Amino acid sequence: MDDPLEFGSLKYLILLVLLLITRGMDFLSTWIATPNLVLEGNPFARRLGWRLGIPVNILVCVLLAFLPAPAIVVATTSALVAARNFQSAWLMRSFGEHNYRHWHTERLRETHPVLFLFCLLAQVLLFGGVGVALVYFGGPNNQLSLADTLSITQAIGVGIIAYAVAVGLFTLLGIWKLRRSIRDTAVEA
Protein backbone atom coordinates (compact mmCIF):
# COMPACT_ATOMS: atom_id res chain seq x y z
CA MET A 1 0.00 0.00 0.00
CA ASP A 2 2.37 2.71 1.24
CA ASP A 3 6.12 2.54 1.27
CA PRO A 4 7.60 2.60 4.77
CA LEU A 5 8.59 6.04 5.98
CA GLU A 6 12.13 6.98 6.87
CA PHE A 7 12.85 7.03 10.60
CA GLY A 8 12.90 10.61 11.85
CA SER A 9 11.24 12.07 8.76
CA LEU A 10 8.55 14.69 9.29
CA LYS A 11 5.75 12.30 8.25
CA TYR A 12 7.15 9.60 10.54
CA LEU A 13 7.29 12.02 13.48
CA ILE A 14 3.74 13.28 12.81
CA LEU A 15 2.41 9.72 12.76
CA LEU A 16 4.42 8.82 15.86
CA VAL A 17 2.99 11.80 17.78
CA LEU A 18 -0.53 10.97 16.53
CA LEU A 19 -0.15 7.35 17.67
CA LEU A 20 1.30 8.33 21.05
CA ILE A 21 -1.54 10.79 21.67
CA THR A 22 -4.36 8.44 20.62
CA ARG A 23 -2.90 5.38 22.35
CA GLY A 24 -2.24 7.61 25.37
CA MET A 25 -5.88 8.71 25.40
CA ASP A 26 -6.96 5.07 25.24
CA PHE A 27 -4.73 4.33 28.24
CA LEU A 28 -5.91 7.43 30.14
CA SER A 29 -9.59 6.65 29.54
CA THR A 30 -9.02 3.05 30.65
CA TRP A 31 -7.15 4.15 33.77
CA ILE A 32 -9.93 6.60 34.73
CA ALA A 33 -12.60 3.94 34.17
CA THR A 34 -10.84 0.94 35.67
CA PRO A 35 -7.49 1.62 37.38
CA ASN A 36 -7.22 -2.03 38.46
CA LEU A 37 -8.32 -3.28 35.00
CA VAL A 38 -11.29 -5.08 36.54
CA LEU A 39 -13.56 -3.76 33.76
CA GLU A 40 -11.02 -4.01 30.91
CA GLY A 41 -12.67 -5.80 28.01
CA ASN A 42 -9.48 -6.62 26.09
CA PRO A 43 -8.04 -9.81 27.63
CA PHE A 44 -4.60 -9.12 26.10
CA ALA A 45 -4.44 -5.64 27.69
CA ARG A 46 -5.70 -7.00 31.01
CA ARG A 47 -3.04 -9.72 30.95
CA LEU A 48 -0.25 -7.26 30.12
CA GLY A 49 -1.33 -4.86 32.86
CA TRP A 50 -0.05 -1.32 33.17
CA ARG A 51 3.65 -2.13 33.69
CA LEU A 52 4.03 -4.13 30.48
CA GLY A 53 1.20 -2.48 28.54
CA ILE A 54 2.79 0.96 28.46
CA PRO A 55 6.21 -0.04 27.05
CA VAL A 56 4.64 -2.52 24.62
CA ASN A 57 2.33 0.21 23.30
CA ILE A 58 5.19 2.71 22.98
CA LEU A 59 7.13 0.12 20.97
CA VAL A 60 4.07 -0.56 18.79
CA CYS A 61 3.72 3.20 18.15
CA VAL A 62 7.40 3.53 17.20
CA LEU A 63 7.12 0.61 14.77
CA LEU A 64 3.69 1.48 13.34
CA ALA A 65 4.74 5.06 12.58
CA PHE A 66 6.79 3.63 9.70
CA LEU A 67 3.58 2.48 7.96
CA PRO A 68 1.09 5.33 7.29
CA ALA A 69 -2.09 3.34 6.56
CA PRO A 70 -1.84 0.92 9.52
CA ALA A 71 -0.78 3.82 11.77
CA ILE A 72 -3.89 5.80 10.84
CA VAL A 73 -6.10 2.72 11.34
CA VAL A 74 -4.68 2.18 14.85
CA ALA A 75 -4.85 5.90 15.71
CA THR A 76 -8.46 6.12 14.54
CA THR A 77 -9.46 2.99 16.44
CA SER A 78 -7.68 4.20 19.57
CA ALA A 79 -9.39 7.60 19.41
CA LEU A 80 -12.82 6.02 19.03
CA VAL A 81 -12.19 3.49 21.82
CA ALA A 82 -10.96 6.28 24.10
CA ALA A 83 -14.05 8.37 23.31
CA ARG A 84 -16.27 5.39 24.12
CA ASN A 85 -14.37 4.78 27.36
CA PHE A 86 -14.63 8.43 28.44
CA GLN A 87 -18.38 8.27 27.87
CA SER A 88 -18.83 6.04 30.93
CA ALA A 89 -15.49 6.39 32.74
CA TRP A 90 -16.82 8.94 35.21
CA LEU A 91 -19.67 6.60 36.12
CA MET A 92 -17.38 3.60 36.49
CA ARG A 93 -15.01 5.59 38.69
CA SER A 94 -17.81 7.01 40.85
CA PHE A 95 -19.35 3.56 41.44
CA GLY A 96 -16.01 1.81 41.81
CA GLU A 97 -14.97 -1.02 39.52
CA HIS A 98 -16.63 -3.90 41.36
CA ASN A 99 -19.80 -1.96 42.17
CA TYR A 100 -20.10 -0.78 38.56
CA ARG A 101 -19.70 -4.33 37.27
CA HIS A 102 -22.42 -5.48 39.70
CA TRP A 103 -24.71 -2.56 38.72
CA HIS A 104 -24.11 -3.19 35.02
CA THR A 105 -24.77 -6.92 35.43
CA GLU A 106 -28.06 -6.16 37.18
CA ARG A 107 -29.11 -3.80 34.35
CA LEU A 108 -28.33 -6.54 31.83
CA ARG A 109 -30.41 -9.04 33.80
CA GLU A 110 -33.35 -6.60 33.77
CA THR A 111 -33.09 -6.01 30.01
CA HIS A 112 -34.44 -8.37 27.39
CA PRO A 113 -31.45 -9.86 25.53
CA VAL A 114 -32.99 -9.03 22.15
CA LEU A 115 -33.19 -5.32 23.08
CA PHE A 116 -29.58 -5.31 24.24
CA LEU A 117 -28.36 -7.12 21.11
CA PHE A 118 -30.44 -4.85 18.85
CA CYS A 119 -28.94 -1.72 20.44
CA LEU A 120 -25.41 -3.14 20.22
CA LEU A 121 -25.91 -4.13 16.59
CA ALA A 122 -27.36 -0.71 15.75
CA GLN A 123 -24.39 1.04 17.37
CA VAL A 124 -21.88 -1.17 15.55
CA LEU A 125 -23.61 -0.82 12.18
CA LEU A 126 -23.95 2.96 12.46
CA PHE A 127 -20.30 3.45 13.37
CA GLY A 128 -19.25 0.89 10.78
CA GLY A 129 -21.45 2.58 8.16
CA VAL A 130 -19.53 5.82 8.52
CA GLY A 131 -16.32 3.88 8.01
CA VAL A 132 -17.73 2.09 4.95
CA ALA A 133 -18.79 5.43 3.46
CA LEU A 134 -15.30 6.86 3.98
CA VAL A 135 -13.65 3.80 2.46
CA TYR A 136 -16.01 3.76 -0.51
CA PHE A 137 -16.08 7.47 -1.27
CA GLY A 138 -12.40 7.95 -0.52
CA GLY A 139 -11.32 4.99 -2.64
CA PRO A 140 -10.00 5.13 -6.20
CA ASN A 141 -12.86 3.03 -7.65
CA ASN A 142 -15.78 5.17 -6.52
CA GLN A 143 -16.60 6.48 -10.03
CA LEU A 144 -16.43 10.09 -8.77
CA SER A 145 -14.16 12.96 -9.72
CA LEU A 146 -11.42 13.92 -7.29
CA ALA A 147 -13.37 17.09 -6.36
CA ASP A 148 -16.52 15.07 -5.64
CA THR A 149 -14.53 12.52 -3.62
CA LEU A 150 -12.94 15.26 -1.51
CA SER A 151 -16.28 17.01 -1.12
CA ILE A 152 -18.00 13.85 0.14
CA THR A 153 -15.21 12.74 2.47
CA GLN A 154 -14.91 16.27 3.84
CA ALA A 155 -18.68 16.38 4.36
CA ILE A 156 -18.44 13.13 6.34
CA GLY A 157 -15.63 14.70 8.37
CA VAL A 158 -17.76 17.78 9.05
CA GLY A 159 -20.61 15.46 10.07
CA ILE A 160 -18.31 13.82 12.62
CA ILE A 161 -17.28 17.25 13.93
CA ALA A 162 -20.96 18.26 14.14
CA TYR A 163 -21.68 15.07 16.09
CA ALA A 164 -18.92 15.93 18.57
CA VAL A 165 -20.28 19.46 18.99
CA ALA A 166 -23.87 18.20 19.38
CA VAL A 167 -22.90 15.59 22.00
CA GLY A 168 -20.89 18.13 23.98
CA LEU A 169 -23.45 20.93 23.71
CA PHE A 170 -26.61 18.96 24.39
CA THR A 171 -25.03 16.93 27.19
CA LEU A 172 -23.88 20.12 28.90
CA LEU A 173 -27.32 21.70 28.41
CA GLY A 174 -29.00 18.63 29.91
CA ILE A 175 -26.63 18.59 32.89
CA TRP A 176 -27.09 22.35 33.41
CA LYS A 177 -30.89 21.94 33.45
CA LEU A 178 -30.63 18.96 35.80
CA ARG A 179 -28.34 20.82 38.21
CA ARG A 180 -30.64 23.86 38.11
CA SER A 181 -33.63 21.61 38.86
CA ILE A 182 -31.79 20.03 41.80
CA ARG A 183 -30.83 23.46 43.10
CA ASP A 184 -34.40 24.78 42.75
CA THR A 185 -35.77 21.69 44.53
CA ALA A 186 -33.28 22.16 47.38
CA VAL A 187 -34.28 25.83 47.77
CA GLU A 188 -38.00 24.92 47.91
CA ALA A 189 -37.38 22.27 50.59
What does the pLDDT look like over 26-61, one tens digit per residue? 999 999 999 999 999 888 999 999 999 999 999 999
DSSP reduced 3-state for 40: coil
Query: What pLDDT band is residue 2 in, cutting at 50, 70 and 90?
Result: low
pLDDT per residue as tens digits for the range 93-107: 999 999 999 999 999
Question: Among 33-37, 76-80, 100-104, 141-145, whose mean pLDDT is lowest?
Answer: 141-145
Q: What angle do CA 159, 170, 114 make, to 5 degrees?
A: 80
Q: If you compute the radius of gyration of the chain from its CA atoms, what whole number of angstroms results?
A: 21
Rounded Cα gap, residues 84 and 64, in angstroms: 23
pLDDT exceeds cutoff 80 at 140: no
Question: Among 45-49, 65-69, 153-157, whose mean pLDDT is lowest?
Answer: 153-157
DSSP reduced 3-state for 91: helix
CA distances from 76 to 91, 110, 132 (A): 24, 34, 14
